[in-house]
Chains A and B, each alone.
Chain A
Amino acid sequence: MQRDEFILCELLYQFADDNFILAYRGSEWLGLAPHIEEDVAFSSINQDMMGHAVMYYSLLEEIGAGNMDDLSHSRKPQNFRNAILLELKNGSGHYLENPDYDWAFTVARNFLFSVFKQVRLEALTQSSYEPLKQTAVKILSEHYYHFMHWETWFMQLMSSTKEARERMEQAVLRCWKEFAGVISIGMYSAEMNKRKLICSEADLRKAWLDKMENVFQKLKFKIEEPPGMESGNGRNGEHTDDLTEALKVLNEVYGGDKEAVSW
């Protein structure tokens, strides 16, 4: 693979894996969401986001990175390029046994990421790689509804009871400690910028922080410290056991019985 293609792949994996893993975490809420309307809405959002992951994986397939199903199901955890925040478990327990999932964390993570996804997609509509530009335009039209959904939850819970506010603030702070990992575009950022595949990390960060500050201001909330990256940089292949475990569940059928998935 030529250098140009390698750099492009590194970037596409970030988008594909971000959407893939967060959609998986979302799908673990199925049947457990706070009410039935949310169950319908959240599964629809997860389905869309899986679709977004498919779009990016198919761009990777087109430039020869490999078969799309293998890319999503057969890569080792260290080859994933998603941000660590997005792979973290929804809470303690397991889907089938005592799932003690944290809705505040889910709302905070999805809202903060939605704001960032909007910023990133808008930046990608200026990308030098035409297929990526077109993909971003398509995803923006769907993301519009996802953004509205998480904004509604976020604003309402942050303006609700004392307990809700406290739990939400804790959840936001927890996301904040990892969010620099979402903003990062990894160790090849200079080469990505040189090829004009995406704007600079500093531009992404500024646009995201401006939007967050605006939201926080309405809610009379403030965070002094800059977003952190406590558990490492997923863009460079650093991950937690949460990802290893999630991929094991995701690959159970694909890795276990090739016949079953060959249809």
Chain B
Amino acid sequence: MKNSHLKDEVRRVLQQVTDPEMPFINIVELGMLEDITIQDDDFVQVTLLPTFSGCPALDMIKADVKEKAKKLLNEWNNDLMIEVIFSFHPPWTTDRISEEGKEKLKRNGISPPPAQYTAGESWRIACPYCNSMYTTMENIFGPTACRSILYCNQCKNPFEAMKPIANLSRI
């Protein structure tokens, strides 16, 4: 009972941790949170799934989680410790992004990826500004590992889209 309440509290703290490259979205909305476990009543372990393996933001995210969680945990119990581990199992996939997360991406000029994506399928992306489907892919690779660069032929804005990532071993 106590522990489940603590879990909720930790989850609330994680909602304050954002991606340093996309500071408007938090790591829970992004679908990075896999698990919170409490062991022996004084050890909290948070398991996060990195979006891309070469993501340079991971160390910053880890430090941020620890710093913010520590404050909360000290209020709760001075002996509580927290550890953050990154796991690639299960692999992070696009369908883990929450609906609020997708809305936030869109409001910030980044088209959210399609929830379901099958390798080899063409990728239809709506412009985040005018919703037109009349868009052109300029570069699959963008300013960060997880984003691509596109152009809207309707409202003439360049924009970015998050790359769809599917678990390809299932196909």
Residues of chain A whose beta carbon lies under 8 Å from any beta carbon of chain B? 37, 40-42, 44-45, 47-52, 54-55, 125, 134-142, 144-145, 148-149
Contact = CB atoms under 8 A, between A and B. Distances in A.
A51 B52 contact: yes
A156 B53 CA distance: 29
Given A37-B138, A40-B143, A134 B54 contact: no
Interface residues of B, number: 25
B139 A40 contact: yes
Contacts of A137: 88-89, 91, 167-169
B139 A144 contact: no
A139 B88 CA distance: 9
Given A41-B139, A137-B169, 9 more contacts: A45-B141, A51-B52, A51-B53, A134-B91, A137-B88, A138-B88, A139-B53, A141-B167, A148-B140
Contacts, number: 73
A141 B55 contact: no
B165 interface: yes
Which of A45, A48, A55, A138 has the most C-beta atoms of chain B within 10 angstroms of its own C-beta?
Answer: A138
Main secondary structure of the interface of B (DSSP, over half): loop
Contacts of B140: 41, 145, 148-149
A141 B54 contact: no
Nearest to B54: A51
A151 B67 CA distance: 44
B97 interface: no
A206 B117 CA distance: 30
Nearest to B49: A138
A142 B52 contact: yes
Given A141-B91, A141-B168, A48 B163 contact: no
Interface in B112-154: 119, 138-145, 149
22 contacts: A37-B139, A40-B143, A40-B149, A41-B140, A41-B141, A44-B144, A48-B52, A48-B54, A50-B54, A52-B54, A55-B53, A134-B88, A136-B169, A137-B89, A137-B91, A138-B88, A140-B168, A141-B166, A145-B141, A145-B163, A148-B140, A149-B141
